[in-house]
A and B are shown apart, each in its own frame.
Chain A
Amino acid sequence: MKLLFHVNGHERSVDVPPMRRLLDTLREDLGLTGTKEGCGEGECGACTVLIDGQAVNSCLVPTCQAAGHEVTTIEGLAPSDPLHRLQQAFLECGGAQCGICTPGMIMAACALPERPTIEVVRQGLAGNLCRCTGYTKIYDAVLAALGSR
């Protein structure tokens, strides 16, 4: 099925089975491998991207449902230097270790409001698992980037 949608601000056309996971379309058909696959069942958040600004697990979204919408992946945050403020903060605060959760973590953080409370950050990232950092430095990075109250 020919499907047309916007990815990181550019119009993209793909010819894929309609139920192909958006994750696979992004990684394999569009070469956007910044989005990671973790569990493949909506538990870990590693594959988080934004659709029309809302965080979703791309492993649970059929590509046909992204048609006509605006998809943002980690590659879309800072197409060239400098880094996006969230990426810079993760770098400076030690918010990334092994890195597999980082793109999803940053995309989930992108959907947070400005100047969130720590509770809002915790809830907003509750669908993203990290097995390295213990989360504290991730929260520090998000608060540093978005401004804390």
Chain B
Amino acid sequence: MSGAVTVAAEVLRPRSLAEALDWLAEAARTGRQLMPLAGGTDVFVGLHFGTLGGTPPGGSEPERRFLDLWGLAELRPITEADDGALRLGALATYTDCIRSPLVGRRLPILAAASKEVGGVQIQNRGTIGGNIANASPAGDAIPVLMAAEAEVVLASVAGERAVPLADYYTGYRASVRRPDELIVAVRTPVPAGRQVFRKVGTRAAQAISKVVLAAVGHRVALGSVAPVVMRARKVEAYLAAGGRDLAEAQRLLLEEIRPIDDVRSTAAYRRRVAANLLAEVLRPA
């Protein structure tokens, strides 16, 4: 037990996305730290353990600053674009994904993954944008969205740009997002092919994955087996070319993944389980 936790922090509460982007631009221009805050499920754990990134170097600033996005209803909706693309607002919660008929129809493995994130309390507050921004190599929604060829929509005062999620991370907990940019949505094209989601953890609820795999057609993404969530490009190329030999696919996968030993599992176990999960992807429909 930790007792009362007093967090000295300034919180900016924008009334619109435009205002939020103005403040991010100003922070970037002046070099001041300003961390976007959504449902708080990762931020408060980071504060609790003292592992939250983003503190300014040299301790020139006595307080942290947060940009509280939670009230921005415009970032919440899950919609279908004219071209059939699924657009998840950055503030869509796991509960929103579980309940969305659109997600159920188009990307049911996102609903399945959302049900295995934390418990109901976390699902009610954790957001898709937050999961991507937190950049955990074990983030459960990330492999699903990566296998679905999602793009991250980044907005700034200069406009929007879309970055393929597969190119979004540049290293452990590092991304291409500039300090003046905000994740406003995630977009996936019409998913083609069979969808598979498997999370292996200590239990179904409240567990961080030891290995997580998602597949949409021949596209395969894995979490907890490398410093970032990754697509198994060699396996994908093999499957796309019509390859159906499980042993060969597993051999290729084990060339690609780089799991480590940590508190949750071992590298050897992760390699074995990741290879086993591929059987589900190759299973005849």
Contacts and interface: CB of A to CB of B under 8 A. Distances in A.
Contacts of B189: none
B2 A42 contact: no
A17 to B, nearest CB: 6
Nearest to A39: B1
A126 B119 contact: yes
B205 A20 contact: no
Nearest to A46: B1
Size bin of chain A's contact surface: 35 or more
A19 B95 CA distance: 24
Interface stretch (B24-32, B39-47, B213-221): B39-47
Contact of B205 (A19, A62, A127): A127
Interface string B54-70: 00000000000010101
A125 to B, nearest CB: 8
Contact of B120 (A62, A65, A123): A123
A40 interface: yes
Contacts of B271: none
Contacts of B95: 54
B44 A42 contact: yes
Interface string A50-86: 0000111101111011000000000000000000000
A37 B98 CA distance: 28
A104 to B, nearest CB: 9
A127 B5 contact: no
Given A54-B124, A108-B120, A59 B44 contact: yes
A123 B3 CA distance: 29
Contacts of A125: 119
A56 B66 CA distance: 21
Contacts of B5: 20-21, 24, 40
A55 B68 contact: no
Interface stretch (B7-15, B75-83, B150-158, B190-198): B7-15
Interface of B: 1-11, 13, 37, 39-41, 44-45, 47-49, 66, 68, 70-71, 95, 115, 118-122, 124-125, 204-206
12 contacts: A20-B6, A41-B45, A43-B206, A60-B40, A60-B41, A62-B37, A65-B40, A111-B120, A123-B120, A125-B119, A126-B120, A127-B206
